[in-house]
Amino acid sequence: MSSIRADPADPTWDVIVVGAGPAGAATALTLAKLGQRVLLAEERVSTSFKLGESLPPSAIGLVKHFLDDSEQPGRDLPGVFRTAGNISLWATEQADVADFFFTSTGFGLCVERLAFDEALRLKAVEAGTSLLKGVRFQSCERIADGAFNWHVSLTGEAQMLKHRARYLVDCSGRRAVVARALGVPTVDTDDQLFAYAQWFSVAGDDDDRYTRIEAGPHGWWYSNRLPGTDGDETRRLVVFHSDKDLPAAKMAARPQGYDQLLDESSHLAPLLKTGGYQPCGTIRGAPAHSQRLQDFCGDAWMAVGDAAQAYDPLSSQGIDKALRTASHAGHMIHYALADCSQGREGLSSSNTYIGQYNEQQRKLWQTYLSQRDYYYGIQRRWSDRPFWQRRRNNA
C-alpha cells in the first residue's frame, strides 16, 4: 500500500510514536508503509554515544528487511559490520568458539548504533513518516473527538506542540515515558546490572572479527571491534557488566579501577595489549538490568521495544527484539485501526490484534527469563562471589 506523506505541522495523526530508536523507527516505518499517517517524535536532536551490539546470523534477514533491498545483506548496510563468530570464556576457562562460517550466511553483524539508528529513521521518513527531533513528550490526555483518542503535548525549543492521534506508541526505551504518564508501573527483577563502557583505539587495522564474552569474579565482559572514523584507526568497545551496588561497579566507573578489573581478565587484557590498544574517551555507564511493564498495552496505546521489556545484554537480543516486535506491533496496530474504522472492534487490549501482541510479549518475557537464568546458572567458577550468588539464587 502506498504511504501518505504528512506535514509535521498538521496536528492530526493516525499514530504518534514517542522515541525514535530502533523500535520507534521500525514501528513508524512499518505503519507508514501500510498507509498510516505517522508522527515520530524524538527528544534528542543528536546523540554522541550509544552502546553497540552483536547480532547472530539469524538476524541478518531482519536487518535487510528494514534497511536494504539488495541481494547482499550486511554488505554496505549503514551502521553494521560483519563478524566472524563468538568467542566466550564462560562456563569453563576454555574458550568456546562459535564460528559463523558454518551458518547459512557465513557471518553475523556488529551494530554501530549511531549510524544504524539514523539509517532506520531515514528509511521511516522515506516511507512517509514525519519526524520531529528535539521534542520531549510532556503529557497525553484521552479525548472523545470523533476518530481521535489522544491529545499529546510535546515540548519543543520554546513552545508547546499539541497533536491529536488515534493511537499512541511508547518507544521511549527503559524510561517508558508514555506508560509512566498513564500510571503503568514498571516491574523490575531483582538484579541491578549496570554496563560500564570504554572505547579503545589503535592505529591501523585489526583483522579480528570475533565478538568476545568473558566471565570474571565480579561480573562479565563484552568486546567487539569497529572500524574507526577513518581508515587509519580501529576502535574496540569493551564493556564491563556488574551490579551497580557492588564494589567492583564503583571501581569500573573510574579509569584506574576499570584498568585494574580489566587487567584481571584472562582473555581480553592480553588481546588488547597484543593489539596495541589504548583507552580513549571517557567511561560511559548505562542501566542493563531486566525490566518490564506491568501492562504492555491498553486503550489505544502500546509499548514496544525496551519500553515494553528490556533485557540483560547477555541475551544479545536488544536490536533483534526491537525490530521483530516493532514489525509485529506495526502490523497489529494497522489491523486494529482498520477494524475500528469499520466499526468491528475498538482499540483496547481486548481487540483481537492488540491481544495477539500482548500475548506475544508475555511469552517473550517468560522465554527470556528462562534463557537468562540458564546461562547465568551454568557459570559456576565464582559461585561464592556476590554477583554470581545472586544469579544462582534467581535461577
Mind listing the pLDDT tens digit for each residue in 137-148? 999 999 876 778
DSSP H helices, 165-317, are: 177-181, 247-252, 255-263, 268-275
Confidence class of residue 8 from pLDDT cuts 50, 70 and 90? low
E strand or H helix that includes residue 154 = strand 148-155
Distance CA 153, CA 163 (A): 7
Q: Which fold has domain 58-113+193-287?
A: D-Amino Acid Oxidase; Chain A, domain 2 (3.30.9)
CB within 8 Å of 242: residues ≥ 6 apart:
193, 194, 196, 218, 219, 248, 249, 252, 387
Task: Determine the average pLDDT of the residues in 49-58.
Answer: 83
Q: pLDDT digit string (tens) for 234-276? A: 889 999 999 999 999 999 999 999 999 999 999 999 999 999 9
Query: How does pLDDT run across 61-101, given as a tens digit for each residue?
Result: 999 999 975 555 445 678 888 899 999 999 999 999 999 99
| Per-residue pLDDT band at 300 (split at 50, 70, 90) | very high
- What is the crossing angle of helices 113-126 and 60-67, to 10°? 50
Rounded distance between C-alpha atoms, residue 164 and residue 179, angstroms? 18
For the entire predicted model, the pTM comes to 0.91
Quickly tell me which residue has 514496544 as its cell: 304
pLDDT higher than 50, residue 1: no
CB 60 within 8 A of CB 109: yes
pLDDT value of residue 51: 77
Domain range list for the chain:
12-48+116-189+291-377, 58-113+193-287
d(CA 334, CA 1) in angstroms, rounded, equals: 12
Asked whether residue 171 carries a pLDDT value surpassing 50, the answer given is yes
The CATH H-level superfamily of 12-48+116-189+291-377 is FAD/NAD(P)-binding domain (3.50.50.60)
Average pLDDT, the chain: 89
User: Which of 160, 170, 138, 165 shows the shortest CA–CA distance to 12?
Assistant: 165
Q: Which triple of cell numbers denotes residue 349?
A: 487490549
Question: In this predicted structure, what is the pLDDT of residue 98?
Answer: 93
Taking only the tens place, the pLDDT of each residue in 28-51 is: 999 999 999 999 999 987 666 777
Across residues 190-210, what is the average pLDDT? 90
The strand ranges marked E within 204-253 are: 210-216, 219-227, 233-243
